[in-house]
Amino acid sequence: MQRYIIKRIFQSLIVILGITVIVFIIVHLTGDPLDLLLPPEAGLEEREIFRHELGLDKPLYVQYFEFLKNISQGDFGQSFRHQTSAFSLVIGALPATIELTAAAMILSIIIALPIGILSAIRPRSFLDRLGMTFALIGQSIPVYWAGLMLILLFAVTLGWLPSGGRGGISNIILPAITLGLFSTAAIARFTRSSMLDVLDEDYIRTARIKGLSEHIVILKHALKNAAIPILTITSLQFGRMLSGAVITETIFSWPGVGRIAVQAIYNRDFPVVQTAVLVTSVIFVIINLLVDIMYMYLDPRIKYD
Amino acid sequence: MPKSNKIWVHLRNAPLGGLAIFFLFLIAAFFAEYLAPHSPTDQNITNALRAPCFFEGGTFEHLLGTDELGRDILSRMIFGARISLLVGFVAVVLSGFIGTCLGLVSGYFGGRIDSIIMRFVDIQLSMPYILIALALIGALGPSLRNIIIVIGITSWVDYSRVVRGEVLSIKNKEFVDLARIAGCSTFRIILKHILPGVANSLIVLGTLMLGRIIIFEAALSFLGLGVQPPTPSWGIMLADGRQYLTFAWWLATFPGIAIMMVVLGTNLVGDWLRDTLDPKQRAAVRGKR
């Protein structure tokens, strides 16, 4: 078991290393950074001096290792646009993104689990059809449009909730619904199918024959066994949400990492872009690692080597 | 049960609504010139922000109203279908090709090359794909070709995972061993004996991915780094609509409905194809009902 954990940590480190390579390549695809740093009237000689000072005349792999050395020391470079380090800019926006993602995740799970379980208990009933229609539509609505329609209804027409910004509870409701919509639908559909699989098993029949009450059978025997696949899909949704947050934050002017990153892309502020991508990816890798380790405690049947 | 009966059973279960949406989408994309009542780019400022018919200020001249430059919304939506279909179809083929090749190699050869490709999959899955796509398009410049390339190289992961899984279950079957004994080259075995076995899954996945890629393209256009104005794209129409949300609700509402319906259609058709083409799934479904 310990060997498995060490192997997974090692794999995660390789993935993070791979991410740094891709981020490095993307930033170098973007053309000469000198075009952005120097005024257009800068002479050729001036450019060469500057290039040498920044180390941009060295071979690419040397530049990559320097990049790696810097970020391992927490130096992600200065923002071209703001007079701060890219790292502090991204880290400063992180709490807002975590708050939004957590709210969306909690909302999704609270709504999706009951829908999935109830649909599975009475397959093909009215409730099942209603729940699954909702889920199918939820998976087909683009995040950005759902956000606009929620603003149109609850902020513009009814005036019940603010259309953007971060502050009290009322500010987070619309963005959390928007961000959680797709995941709610996905988790509900998946919960239904996992529960259907489990409810077909012999031990459920045994539990029923023993005369256990139906809700004990469902909640204790069935849900516990369906939990692992549900947990897998939920953790996968987490990655989706970190991506979805980019759009949700932009629509609702939510001051998170996604919005900062999009603005940095518009402004060609590459240190901020690469920091935002790196930080989000590393968080996702760590979450995946934790979920995998959690499985071992949840399901002792799985053999690890 | 005779085979023809089986086909009949599947056709009876076909999602008519989904197929209808899909055909409507294809017809709009192919025959936009003949169907659209107006030009998608003709501006008429005196006629700007006109409400849809049946609403105050609306006329039957512009069934779904006009935008801030007086362009006909319905016509722009019909032409927008063309961009969505073009980007969606080409990107599905491109990402499907990349993903299938990697999945075939990964599953068939296993070992070190498999773990390298699977790490690539992990890396791709760990990165926020929207940011990567935005950054790449920001770097390469937002042309239609670049958008398709970027979507293609950020969407291959699902294919390679599905194909790899299928190859693992096929490659040790007897007929593959026989082909090997008969002296077929590795390339021929993969192409002639293994690829047909994964074709069904590819069709299902491709259909579902078409919807996801249409959403993806509109997202990029919505954020300003996709298709560029004045090309009529559903994502651009939404971005315009966002600015006029407070007093012209129709600008953002109708293109969004179009995206949702097309994606709903691909999801319905995809689910049906999976039930029909994938025997494992079919057995599972039959057991349930």
Domain span at residue A161?
92-257
Please determine, for residue B1, whether its predicted confidence score (pLDDT) is greater than 50: no
pLDDT at A175: 93
Please determine, for residue B36, whether its predicted confidence score (pLDDT) is greater than 90: no
pLDDT 10s digits, B192-234: 888 888 888 898 899 989 999 999 999 999 988 888 888 888 9
Please tell me the pTM assigned to this model.
Answer: 0.86
* Contact (CB<8Å) A268/B130: no
A144 assigned to some structural domain? yes
Q: Which residue of A has its CA nearest to B253?
A: A149
Which residue matches tokens 């516990």? A224
- Considering its fold, how many domains does chain A have in total? 1
B152 assigned to some structural domain? yes
Output the domain CATH number for residue A128. 1.10.3720.10
Q: Note the ipTM here.
A: 0.84
What residues of chain A lie within 8 A of the CB of B243, using their CB? none
B205 assigned to some structural domain? yes
B63 assigned to some structural domain? no
Phi, psi at B72, each rounded to 5°: -75, 120
Q: What number is the average pLDDT over the span B167-184? A: 86
Burial of B172 (0-12, 13-18, 19+ CB in 10 A): exposed
pLDDT at B259: 93
> Is the Cβ of B6 closer than 8 Å to some Cβ of chain A?
no
Q: Which of B131, B224, B253 sits opposite A277 (nearest CB)?
A: B131
pLDDT beneath 50: ranges in chain A: none
A31 assigned to some structural domain? no
Domain span at residue B147?
81-288
pLDDT at B284: 44
The C-alpha of A77 sits at a distance from chain B's nearest C-alpha, in angstroms, of 18
Cβ–Cβ < 8 Å for B81, B32: yes
A119 assigned to some structural domain? yes
B31 assigned to some structural domain? no
A37 assigned to some structural domain? no
pLDDT 10s digits, A205-256: 888 888 787 777 887 778 877 777 788 778 778 877 888 889 999 999 999 9
**Please, which pLDDT band fits residue B286 given cuts at 50, 70 and 90?**
very low
Cβ–Cβ < 8 Å for B237, B41: no
What residues of chain B lie within 8 A of the CB of A273, using their CB? 131, 135
Could you tell me which residues come within 8 angstroms of residue B124 by beta carbon, excluding any fewer than 6 positions away?
B154, B156, B157
Q: Which residue of A has its CA nearest to B218?
A: A142
Q: Which residue of B has its CA nearest to A242?
A: B128
> Is the Cβ of A266 closer than 8 Å to some Cβ of chain B?
yes
State chain B's mean pLDDT as an integer.
84
Q: Which of B249, B259, B288 sits opposite A142 (nearest CB)?
A: B259
What part of A 72-111 touches B (C-beta under 8 Å)?
A: none
More confidently predicted of B172 and B10: B172
A262 assigned to some structural domain? no
The C-alpha of B274 sits at a distance from chain A's nearest C-alpha, in angstroms, of 15
Output the domain CATH number for residue B203. 1.10.3720.10
- Our CA angle for B204, B206, B207, nearest 5°, is 65
* Contact (CB<8Å) A152/B135: no
What residues of chain A lie within 8 A of the CB of B114, using their CB? none
- Considering its fold, how many domains does chain B have in total? 1
Could you tell me which residues come within 8 angstroms of residue B140 by beta carbon, excluding any fewer than 6 positions away?
A29, B146, B149, B150
Please determine, for residue B190, whether its predicted confidence score (pLDDT) is greater than 60: yes
State chain A's mean pLDDT as an integer.
84
B27 assigned to some structural domain? no
B251 assigned to some structural domain? yes
pLDDT at A111: 92
B91 assigned to some structural domain? yes
